[in-house]
Amino acid sequence: MATSDPRSIKLELVEYASKRAYDRLQEITPSRRLRDSLRVLFLGGGSVFGDAVAFLEYPEYWAVYLHDGHSGFNPTFAKKLVFFADPNDDPRIAPLPGGYPTRFSDAKRLTAAQYAEGLRRNRQRARQGGTPFMYVLPSVGPWGGYKWLEGGGGFADGGMRGFGDTVGPEMARRFRTWIKTRVAVSSEAKVSLKLK
């Protein structure tokens, strides 16, 4: 009777599904920074009976706000909220490797000199009839987010909805092949594959 270690098929299926999920998220994620930082974490699979699991995550603390949106808010530590028309002009993110902060503690505040320079450039652009260099607001209203995982915001057809239905048939085919080629089974044996 041929036998085989079930860890191999568990890992193969998890790798297949996580690769497909990674590829799909690369297509639908609206932020280049988030696409570049998306990572896959593999857990488990070491024991015969344990689960093999892969997690895909965006490490940036702000990914949830971009996806889910936010309620309105006021500045916490300052008197005004400041946004730059071009993120490349924002001195708070320019010195960080890769630009945007990953952890909240990486976020920087504008110095008084940087704020004054931004206001000067706003006045200069206003005289020339241009758009503001930086936006200064007392508060920000609620925003609904892009909802790219659900297919919202115009970024994806269906997002990740139906992902299990997309990869399930191929995973079932791979599992059946593994069973047939590695394990001797009787004609009455039944096997099921469940995607969580």
Asked if 184 and 1 touch (Cβ cutoff 8 Å), the reply is yes
Distance CA 194, CA 188 (A): 20
Distance CA 179, CA 103 (A): 45
* pLDDT values of the chain reduced to their tens digit, one per residue, 196 residues: 344 677 788 888 999 999 999 999 999 999 988 999 999 998 876 565 567 888 999 999 889 999 999 898 888 877 899 989 888 888 888 666 666 778 888 778 899 999 999 999 999 999 999 999 999 999 989 988 888 888 765 444 678 888 888 899 999 999 888 888 876 666 666 666 666 6
User: Phi, psi (5° rounding) for residue 26?
Assistant: -65, -35
Per-residue confidence (pLDDT) for residue 178, from 0 to 100: 85
Given the structure tokens 């007392």, which residue do they identify? 138
Asked if 66 and 147 touch (Cβ cutoff 8 Å), the reply is no
Per-residue confidence (pLDDT) for residue 146, from 0 to 100: 85
What 8-state DSSP symbol labels residue 88? G
| pLDDT tens digits for range 99-133 | 677 888 877 889 999 999 999 999 999 999 999 99
Distance CA 66, CA 186 (A): 52
Per-residue confidence (pLDDT) for residue 21, from 0 to 100: 93
Per-residue confidence (pLDDT) for residue 94, from 0 to 100: 67
Per-residue confidence (pLDDT) for residue 49, from 0 to 100: 59
Residue 155, classed as helix, strand or coil, is coil
Other beta carbons less than 10 A from residue 142's beta carbon: 10
Distance CA 173, CA 164 (A): 14
Given the structure tokens 């699979």, which residue do they identify? 45
What's at 117, amino acid-wise?
Answer: E
What 8-state DSSP symbol labels residue 56? E
Region of 154 (left: φ > 0; alpha: ψ -120 to 50; beta: rest) is: left
Distance of CA 14 to the CA centre of its chain: 19
Per-residue confidence (pLDDT) for residue 186, from 0 to 100: 61
